Chain A
Amino acid sequence: DTGVSQDPRHKITKRGQNVTFRCDPISEHNRLYWYRQTLGQGPEFLTYFQNEAQLEKSRLLSDRFSAERPKGSFSTLEIQHTEQGDSAMYLCASSLVSQGGEYNEQFFGPGTRLTVL
């Protein structure tokens, strides 16, 4: 257990439905990342937050995807009008980046496995 939690762990939905995932990072971490991972691939970056500000979003990411981190603590990732191609593991990670820019490792949550039928 890394201290990062995600909910739900599994989600099965029908094509066209909306889904929302939640991530609770390690409390003192200021950065929160969302990734998507399919079998045999490394994590694919989706977006990240520095505190409550969303600083970057992948250019490959469809407008159907949106993420929030309203109080700089937990985050939600919503996928609207799901498609079968959205089936993947959605990973959340958090890290602490100091003011000096020192980079520390990302701690991953267990992931949410999404299956779109």
Chain B
Amino acid sequence: GQNIDQPTEMTATEGAIVQINCTYQTSGFNGLFWYQQHAGEAPTFLSYNVLDGLEEKGRFSSFLSRSKGYSYLLLKELQMKDSASYLCAVVDSNYQLIWGAGTKLIIKP
């Protein structure tokens, strides 16, 4: 079967750094997405990795290791508005998105 694993919940302090991990087992791989979802709202795109390595975009970075079936999302200089769920999703061999359950990130002052 296809499986995406992420921690259910994480807590971090405003101004700090947090790393959200995602491991996957899917039938084929055509890229990995990270989305942010605030409570009651739709997911919004954060990043896309298809090759191994680190992609940096402002305060957010995303890393991929295809051989390990592993990715992480790194958030720096955390702000209260970063409190949200972070969803990892993998594009499988049929070009379908397989979604993780999401990691709820709680930011404390």
Q: Which residues of A contact B (CB under 8 A)?
A: 2, 33, 40-45, 48, 56, 91, 97, 101, 103, 105-111
Residue on A nearest B88 in the bound complex, by CB:
A42
Contact B101 A41 (CB under 8 A): yes
Q: Which 6 A/B pairs are nearest by Cβ-Cβ distance?
A: A42-B99, A108-B42, A105-B45, A42-B101, A43-B99, A42-B102
> How many A-B contacts if CB must be within 8 Å?
49
Docked complex Cα distance between A41 and B103 (Å): 9
Subset of 19 A-B contacts with CB under 8 Å: A2-B42, A40-B101, A42-B89, A42-B99, A42-B101, A44-B99, A56-B96, A91-B42, A91-B43, A101-B95, A103-B31, A105-B45, A105-B48, A106-B45, A106-B97, A107-B45, A110-B41, A111-B41, A111-B42
Docked complex Cα distance between A106 and B102 (Å): 17
Contacts of A56 in B (CB 8 A): 94, 96
Contacts of A110 in B (CB 8 A): 41-42
In the complex, whether B63 has a CB less than 8 A from a CB of chain A is no
Contact B44 A108 (CB under 8 A): yes
The count of chain B contact residues (Cβ–Cβ below 8 Å) is 24
Q: Which residues of B contact A (CB under 8 A)?
A: 4, 8, 30-31, 33, 41-45, 48, 50, 87, 89, 91, 94-97, 99-102, 104
Contacts of B96 in A (CB 8 A): 45, 48, 56
Docked complex Cα distance between A109 and B24 (Å): 26
Contacts of A48 in B (CB 8 A): 96
